[in-house]
Amino acid sequence: MITFVLIRLVRAVVTVLAVMTFAFVVLRMSGDPAQVLLGPDLPQEAVDAFRKEWGLDAPLWQQYLSYFRAILSGDFGLSMRDRSPAIELVLDRVPATLQLTLPALLLKLGIGIPAGIYAALHRDSAVDRGVIFLAILGFTIPSFVMGLVLVLIFAVTLHWLPSGGIGTWQHALLPAITMSIGGIGILARFSRSAMIEVMGQPYIRTASAKGVRWQDVVRGHALPNAAVPIVTIVGFMVGSVISGAVVVETIFSWPGIGRLLIVSVANRDLAVVQCILLIIAAVMVVSNLVVDLLYGWLDPRLRAQPAH
Amino acid sequence: MTNLVEIRDLKVAFDSVPVLHGIDLDVRPGEALGLVGESGCGKSVTWLAALGLLPSKASVSGRVTLGDTDLTGAPRTQLEQVRGGRIAMIFQDPSSALNPVLKVGRQLCEALKLHRGLTGKPAKQEALRLMDMVGIPDARGRFALYPHEFSGGQCQRLMIAMALAGEPDLLIADEPTTALDATIQAQILDLLVRLRAEMNMATVFISHDLGAVAQVCERVCVMYAGRIVEQGAVGQLFDRPRHPYTRGLFDALPRLDGPRVALTPIQGTVPDPRKLPAGCAFAPRCTHARDFCHGERPDLLAQRDGRHLACAYPLPEAPAAREDVHAPREGVHP
Ligand SMILES: Nc1ncnc2c1ncn2[C@@H]1O[C@H](COP(=O)(O)OP(=O)(O)OP(=O)(O)O)[C@@H](O)[C@H]1O
Ligand SMILES: [Mg+2]
């Protein structure tokens, strides 16, 4: 068990390092912050001074080393735009993003999983077909289309809800729904097939042959087995509570991390972008870690096995 | 003596393809009945249908009665009482027949709670006793283990323990040893024979293995393509099979005693349930078939010696020339 956790911890750290490095290199290769921030017509001296000030004149590997040292001492750098600490800028936006992503996550879990399970237990019924149809619709329509359609209906035409901005819970409604629909579809499909698979297993027949009531076969014998694959997908969704909001925040002008990311990338605000990517990677990695540990808890067969 | 279970004209179809064509079968209290036939002939489906365990796409007709209870068309709650309580069933692949995420002790106690109302400490005591009885060493120490921590043979022992938990009148053992290696097979068969005697419980033993059937059973039903084609006492059928199909099953067996003879497998393959021949389903593979067999299907009729037979041109009652080859196998006669 200890090695199981240790191996996964090491893997998690390696993943975060890889993301950090990748983001660092790509950002620096893909455009000059001086050009973007200062404009194209500035004299060369000003550009050089800017480069020197931000350490952009050193060789890449030196820049990387000092970046890395700074991170280890908890210094995430300053925003090139207003010289405030990048980490503060980013953390300021976290609550706004969570205001969308957490309700969306609850919708995905609360609707997707029960719908999928119900459909599986009533296979080939009208309800089942309906669930499949809606699920496919849900995850094939891109969220920007879905968002615009919802805005057209509920904001522009019916005037029930605001079309953008942050403020009351009504403001959060459309973006949260937009964000959840794809996930509801995916989870419904996935829970359905996981449950169908499990209900066809010999041990389910054993439980029925033993005289277990049907409801208890479903609850006590099938669900604990179906939980294993479902948890994988849920882990993925939890992992993207920070990153999943980019498109939707942009559509609904929601001042969260997603929008900050878009703006900072456009401005080549290196420290801010790196900080956001680091946080996204960390959340992903932590949720994967939790999923791995949950596996062992849900499925005793995975406990004994060495990690692969 | 009245029958424990009576099956009358049981028919099953999947997606309107019939796979059982009217099975009549009785099980007497305490007897051991063998059900043999090639893969796909409907052995499992017969009993799954009787217990209402087939998926809902299966359409079932006919009557299955257990004492005064009519199982076909019985409400679900009543079936749930019968399952595991009066008729228990164990299956072919023991490793996948136990729930992988539940401790074996818990799975045993569940059956005890359902059918004997035992919970807590008494349930655990009884579960340990059952584990002991089916030969799980160190039951106390292994009570809280998961199925993957047991071997295939031990899983089948656990399945048997679970089946015994409800003290059933009838145990359906659906190829309980097919997935196990030979020595374990023999142990499980011994266990089944011993338990049946101890618990005075009828057994239906489904198998491809005629040797195993001879060891466990008193009476045998031979099934072919969803019908019973020959039925009688083990000694009768083994001494002198009269349906060419039964005979074919024996000829395909390796013999442990007597002279070494070449094995003669039955020619051809089992017919597809969607394309059954018009007459006797076995006719296309039968070396004795005549024109009549291809056009008309023989009924299952009682014979003078007490067996039932569905064949228009059966093998002779009297011993034939190849008598030596078909001398009874060891262990057939009590
Ligand atoms: N769930 C199912 N759906 C569709 N067809 C089925 C189903 N279960 C069984 N069948 C069909 O019913 C027929 C009888 O199957 P059954 O399982 O009873 O055979 P069997 O005699 O038990 O064979 P085996 O020795 O392989 O277990 C086969 O043709 C099989 O394909
Ligand atoms: Mg079978």
Q: Can you give the residue ranges of every domain in chain A?
A: 19-72, 93-302
On whether any CB of chain A is under 8 Å from the CB of B166, the answer is yes
Contact across the interface for B111 and A205, Cβ inside 8 Å: no
Residue B284: strand, helix, or coil: helix
For the segment(s) A93-302, the CATH number from 2.60.120.10, 3.40.440.10, 1.20.1300.10, 1.10.3720.10 is 1.10.3720.10
What are the pLDDT digits (tens) for A44-66? 888 888 888 888 888 888 888 88
CATH classification at residue B92 = 3.40.50.300
Question: Do B38 and B164 fall within a single domain?
Answer: yes
The predicted structure's pLDDT at residue B318: 66
The predicted structure's pLDDT at residue A304: 63
Would you say the CB of residue B275 lies under 6 angstroms from ligand 1?
A: no
Q: Which ligand is nearest to the CA of B223?
A: 1
Domain count, chain B: 2
Residue A38 clears pLDDT 50, i.e. is over it: yes
Closest Cβ opposite residue B101 in set A211, A214, A298: A298
Would you say the CB of residue B215 lies under 6 angstroms from ligand 1?
A: no
Would you say the CB of residue B56 lies under 6 angstroms from ligand 1?
A: no
Residue A301: closest C-alpha in chain B: B148
Q: Which atom of ligand 1 sits closest to the CA of residue B92? A: 27
Q: Chain A window 49-78: which residues touch B at a Cβ cutoff of 8 Å?
A: none
Q: Which residues pair with A4 in a beta bridge?
A: none
What are the residues whose beta carbons fall under 8 Å from the beta carbon of B296, sequence distance 6 or more?
A: B279, B280, B312
Contacts of B93 in chain A (CB under 8 A): 202
Share of chain A above pLDDT 90, in %: 50
**B50/A298 Cα distance (integer angstroms):** 34
Closest to B95 in 3D by CA, of B180, B152, B179, B154: B152
Select from B44, B172, B209 the residue to mutate for testing ligand 1; criterion: most ligand atoms less than 8 Å from CB: B44
Integer angstrom CA distances of residue B157 from A132, B88, B175: 42, 14, 14
Contact across the interface for A203 and B96, Cβ inside 8 Å: yes
Question: Do B137 and B272 fall within a single domain?
Answer: no
Would you say the CB of residue B247 lies under 6 angstroms from ligand 1?
A: no
Residue B320 clears pLDDT 60, i.e. is over it: no
Q: Which atom of ligand 1 sits closest to the CA of residue B54? A: 1
What are the pLDDT digits (tens) for B235-262? 989 888 999 999 988 887 776 666 666 6
DSSP secondary structure letter of residue B274? G
Closest Cβ opposite residue B114 in set A211, A214, A228: A211
Contacts of A298 in chain B (CB under 8 A): 101
Would B333 be classed as within a structural domain? Answer: no
Task: Provide the terminal-to-terminal Cα distance of chain A, rounded to the nearest Å.
Answer: 14
Share of chain A above pLDDT 70, in %: 98
Q: Which two tokens stand for residue A54?
A: 């931000």
**A307/A90 Cα distance (integer angstroms):** 35
DSSP secondary structure letter of residue B329? P
Select from B41, B92, B229, B275 the residue to mutate for testing ligand 1; criterion: most ligand atoms less than 8 Å from CB: B41
Q: Which two tokens stand for residue B316?
A: 């002779």
Mean pLDDT to the nearest integer, A90-116: 94
Question: Do B62 and B143 fall within a single domain?
Answer: yes
Please say whether the beta carbons of A278 and A16 come within 8 A. Answer: yes
Please say whether the beta carbons of A301 and B147 come within 8 A. Answer: no
Residue B105: strand, helix, or coil: helix
**Range(s) of the domain holding residue B261:** 244-309
What are the pLDDT digits (tens) for B80-136? 999 999 999 999 889 999 999 999 999 999 999 999 999 999 999 999 999 999 999
Would B91 be classed as within a structural domain? Answer: yes
Contact across the interface for B101 and A208, Cβ inside 8 Å: no
Residue indicated by tokens 């005793």: A300
Q: Edge to edge, what strands does the sheet with B58-66 contain?
A: B17-27, B5-14, B58-66, B69-70
Question: Do B62 and B180 fall within a single domain?
Answer: yes
Question: Do B294 and B163 fall within a single domain?
Answer: no
Q: Which two tokens stand for residue B254?
A: 């390796």
State pTM to two decimals: 0.85
Residue A307 clears pLDDT 60, i.e. is over it: no
Question: Do B140 and B271 fall within a single domain?
Answer: no
Would you say the CB of residue B273 lies under 6 angstroms from ligand 1?
A: yes
Q: What is the ipTM of this complex?
A: 0.87
On whether any CB of chain B is under 8 Å from the CB of A297, the answer is no
A254 burial level (CB within 10 Å; 0-12, 13-18, 19+): buried
Q: Which ligand is nearest to the CA of B270?
A: 1
CA B310 / ligand 1 centre spacing (Å)? 22
Distance from CA of A237 to the nearest CA of B (A): 25
Mean pLDDT to the nearest integer, B219-238: 93
What are the pLDDT digits (tens) for B281-316? 998 898 888 888 898 889 999 888 889 999 988 888
Question: Do B212 and B248 fall within a single domain?
Answer: no
Interface test with A, best of B69, B93, B95, B99 (most A CBs within 10 A): B99
Question: Do B150 and B278 fall within a single domain?
Answer: no
Would B222 be classed as within a structural domain? Answer: no
Mean pLDDT to the nearest integer, A271-295: 90
**B60/B12 Cα distance (integer angstroms):** 5
A308 pLDDT band, cuts 50/70/90, is: very low
Question: Do B211 and B277 fall within a single domain?
Answer: no
Would B326 be classed as within a structural domain? Answer: no
- Which helix (H) or strand (E) segment holds residue A284: the answer is helix A270-298
